[in-house]
Amino acid sequence: MASVIRAVRDGYVDLMDNKSDPRVKGWFLMSGPAPTLSIVLTYVFIVKYLGPKLMENRKPYKLKNTLIVYNAFQVVFSAWLFYRALRAGWWGDYSFFCQPIDYSNSPQALDTVDMCWWYYFSKFTEFFDTFFFIMRKKYNQVSTLHVIHHGIMPMSVWFGVKFTPGGHSTFFGLLNTFVHIVMYFYYMLAAFGPQVQKYLWWKKYLTVLQLVQFVLIMVHAFQLLFISCDYPKAFVWWIGAHAVLFYFLFTDFYKQSYAKGQKAAAKLAAEQAAQTNGSAVHDASKPIPKAAQTLENSYISPEASLRSRAGAR
């Protein structure tokens, strides 16, 4: 047993010291996975237990101005990262089909490594999405999808910065930062309240944009399984698997949020139309059956749901 433990320890030390990118040695949070994992586990503990416990006997915070400033910051931060990803090579030098990692100490290569680290750091700033939900007692927003997404990303990106900071994998960051520009811009507008509701009809298309992002990431990553490219296959599977996971999670979210709501609305409209035309079992002059009332009262359109959330901000 002692020899097994020693072999595992030696293998870990060799991986961290000799197989990782030496350019990030000594960088903040880059010594090993333990600090990042600890932060992620602390995040999960706060949002699933400590936060709700502390808010148990408190009224929800409004946080309107805080949310406006926070989302504006995320728009600017994401735009800065998107620009840096373009500057790293996606503005013309990088290839969609195969982009090896530049491990040199050239100014462009070092700038790319720095950009990758800041992208990794941005995943921690996004924890405040959840913290603000907790402070406003929007516990329904702290879904399994939400916690998994925010919990997995810092650890996943840490491995990228530690071993493959640049090249093919930066396509993921390029797309993700663009999506976040649009997403946080939407959240910023929503935080202003009812006066901007008529401009936010495009809410559900944010999820569609996320799904398109994951499909592109899957195609971009898994193509390297069929062509020769000087890029680690382990990270092809790592990135591609994450895209597949999030694609199915977000697809389920889309169905739950919009498809079921549309079916409920259509059913309600059909019942009301039948009553109006006198073809319903119950005469139109009679009260709507309790089941129909329940359906009518339980369905909340995406627009009404949005107004409720924005008003609470």
- The three state secondary structure string of 189-232 is HHHCCHHHHHHCCCCHHHHHHHHHHHHHHHHHHHHHHCCCCCCC
State yes or no: is 149 an active-site residue: yes
The number of beta carbons lying within 10 Å of the beta carbon of residue 104 is: 11
The number of beta carbons lying within 10 Å of the beta carbon of residue 93 is: 10
First to last CA, the chain: 56
Instruction: Single out the residue of 147, 132, 137 nearest to residue 71, CA to CA.
Output: 132
Instruction: Single out the residue of 168, 8, 198, 149 nearest to residue 97, CA to CA.
Output: 168
CA distance 76 to 125: 13
Which positions ≥6 away from 74 have C-beta within 8 Å? 125, 126, 180, 184, 187
CA distance 119 to 77: 9
Query: For 93, what's the count of Cα atoms within 13 Å in the CB-facing half-sphere?
Result: 14
Q: Of residues 146, 149, 220, 282, which has the active-site annotation? A: 149
Q: At what angle do helices 127-135 and 64-85 cross, to 10 degrees?
A: 170
Active site residues: 149
